[in-house]
Amino acid sequence: MIESDEDGFNTIIEFEATNLPSFINSVDHEFLPALSALKITNNISFEESETYPTLSAFEYRVKDEQGLNSLPGQISIYIDELEINNPPKSYGYFIQKPSNNIVKLLGYDQDLGGVTFEITDITNITNYSIENVTTNSNSGWSVAYLKYDITNNEDEVSISYRVNDGTESSSISIITLN
């Protein structure tokens, strides 16, 4: 949209958006002084929210250097549904060393998309593998089993891991085995 000063003698110096919907924070604009025009370039910032109305509108006015205000104009905007990704979560805990050398890794994805498991650090374990990853798409929970060999049964074992939902990773969680 380009709004210009029709008499061509004055430069537009001010833009004012009015009657903004509550979820719009600001409307940025750009002046084109050579054309004595105001160009709106779709720089509209929104509050973070999970829902917006599909169609919304607001009014605007412009003012020239002589202080003359335009009649109100209206801008209608169509908002397509936004997909918001919530970061997944991993969970740490403390337990005694299991006799079968298998530990459960837990991941949760609020978006119900499932997760992958990544070991980020491990102490006092020589070999390990992640097996039997299962995801419950109705609840968002994923479970994996870490099979491992211990270097010394007397030492404490620490397993650091995180989960990823394909877009974001969780913070690192630690499982400690005594």
- Each residue of 110-148: pLDDT tens digit? 988 889 999 999 999 989 999 989 988 788 999 999 999
- Each residue of 28-44: pLDDT tens digit? 766 665 555 555 555 66
Q: Tell me, what's the pLDDT at 119?
A: 95
Q: How many CA atoms lie within 13 A of 102 on its CB side?
A: 7
Cβ-proximal residues to 83 (8 Å cutoff; 6+ apart), any chain: none
Q: Tell me, what's the pLDDT at 152?
A: 77
Q: How far, in Å, CA of 106 to CA of 173, rounded? A: 10
| Measured CA distances, 102 to 6, 38, 96 (Å) | 77, 66, 12
Q: How far, in Å, CA of 85 to CA of 88, rounded? A: 9
Q: Tell me, what's the pLDDT at 2?
A: 46
What CATH class is the domain 89-177? mainly beta
Q: Quick check: do 2-78 and 89-177 share a fold?
A: yes
pLDDT for residue 48 is more than 90: no
The model's pTM: 0.56
Q: Coil, helix or strand for 59?
A: strand
What would be the CATH architecture of the domain defined by 2-78?
Answer: Sandwich (2.60)
User: Structural domain boundaries of the chain?
Assistant: 2-78, 89-177
Helices (H) and strands (E) in the chain, counts: 0, 16
